[in-house]
Structure 1
Amino acid sequence: MSHTAHIRSHRKPRSRTASTIAMRAGVAGGILSTVAVAGASAAANAAEPVTQTLELPTLTADLSAQVAQSAEATQLAAANYQLQAERDAAAAAAAKEAAKDLAAAQKAEARKKAAEEARQAAAERASRDSQRTTLAAAADTGSGSVSTSTSTSASTATGSAAAVIDFVRAQVGDAYVSGGTGPNSWDCSGLVQAAFRQVGIDLPRVSQDQSTAGTQVSLDNLQPGDILYWGGAGSAYHVAVYVGGGMFVGAQNPSTGVVEKPLSYDPPSGAVRVL
């Protein structure tokens, strides 16, 4: 046993004053308050969502210039598109107007052609009437015997003459068109030329030349296949084909077309023979 065991402690017992206890309690309370505040702050921070802030790039001078150039290019493209649209509209309007002008010109030309044909037909009828009067007067004095002298020739057409006659008779009923050469419309010389082409004879195209294409024959000595003409030889204005029996076939005018008529219907001025 220690030699001091029986001796009381020489230290004085600590006396805890009320102020010391209060201070220690305050310190402890402060610590606990700090811990509580820290815990609450951590809980609050844990509850709030984290927001990330992004910084936009600074608009530099080069980028600004590029944006301006892009805007200018867009405006220029829009202006060009508008200009092209205006040009297209103007071109379409001009084409439409040109089509109207062309149609009007074509109508005017058609009217002019129709009037010319009517004038020519009227002139031909007037000239034929004059020729008819002259020939009728000659017949009254015994100088003309066209129908009687040729009445027996209807059945004598053979060979090339028969082919020519068959051709012109096949066209009876076709239309008369100035400048027509077939196959469904003719003028007088076009019909005669086409008929003789069937037998290998190439006649001139117009009446004036056809009236001198062969040998001149008198009207009282006609044969089937002879070419009849109206007007002077070399200046004839109409031709037809004598088919025999006092008849002829010709493309007369726009009113009658191709017809077969007796010589008395429109007495010819002369005739030529090429067969």
Structure 2
Amino acid sequence: MSHTAHIRSHRKPRRSASKVAMRAGVAGGVLSTLAVAGASGSASAAEPVTQTLELPALTADLGAQIAESADATQQAAANYQLQAERDAAAAKAAKQAKADLAEAKKKAQAEKKAAEEAARKAAAERATRSSERTTLSASADVETSTSASSSSSSSSSTATGSAAAVIAFVRAQVGDAYVSGGTGPNSWDCSGLVQTAFKQVGIDLPRVSQDQSTAGTQVSLSNLQPGDILYWGGAGSAYHVGVYVGDGMFVGAQNPSTGVAEKPLSYDPPTGAVRVL
């Protein structure tokens, strides 16, 4: 036995023929593949080839987005249409309200005019009745004034002529309202009543009490005659007037609580009197 027999040989082991053949086949296949690839590369260099990539996932997302956009557009259109309908309804309502307001104003004006006309007719009717009342009273007084008795201011006296007409007029207004500045036909103040009463017989008196208290001849209260003007306060500064109607009575537009009333001289004794008839 050799002294080197136990040492392994450093020579490479010999490959088997099958492994060498397999490796040669593999190498040949690789070279063939490279050759084919090279040929394909040359062909590609000679003539470009267009390739289409299909992206199914991206196409689906885009479709969903388009659908959502279409829905949003449709909803916006519906909102616009609804708003347009609301605007049209509001405009129609405003137009109708304007027409109703105009009609209401027209109706109110017509009612006001009718009310004013009715008031005018009523006032005219009251004035006519008052005039008729005055005429009847004056006629009755004239017919019954066939005799007279005179003594003192408190004694019975019967008016005739113009005095009877004045007295009939003021008595016809008894019960009417007292209104400051009133000159009839249904409301009076004291001097307005006296002035209008004497106007019935063609005598124009001043408008206010102060001037009426000096419009005629001053007479004593003990020598009064029906138709004399009574005044309260000083002559030329009187604050109230009335008409003496005989039998110690007078008629005057007293105050808002009593209105036009017939009262005895003792109710409110006058200061003086003037005679214009």
Task: Sort the TM-score into its range (normalised by shorter chain).
Answer: 0.3 to 0.5
Q: Report the TM-score, using the length of structure 2 for normalisation.
A: 0.45
Q: Which has the higher contact order (CA 8 A, sep 6+)?
A: 1
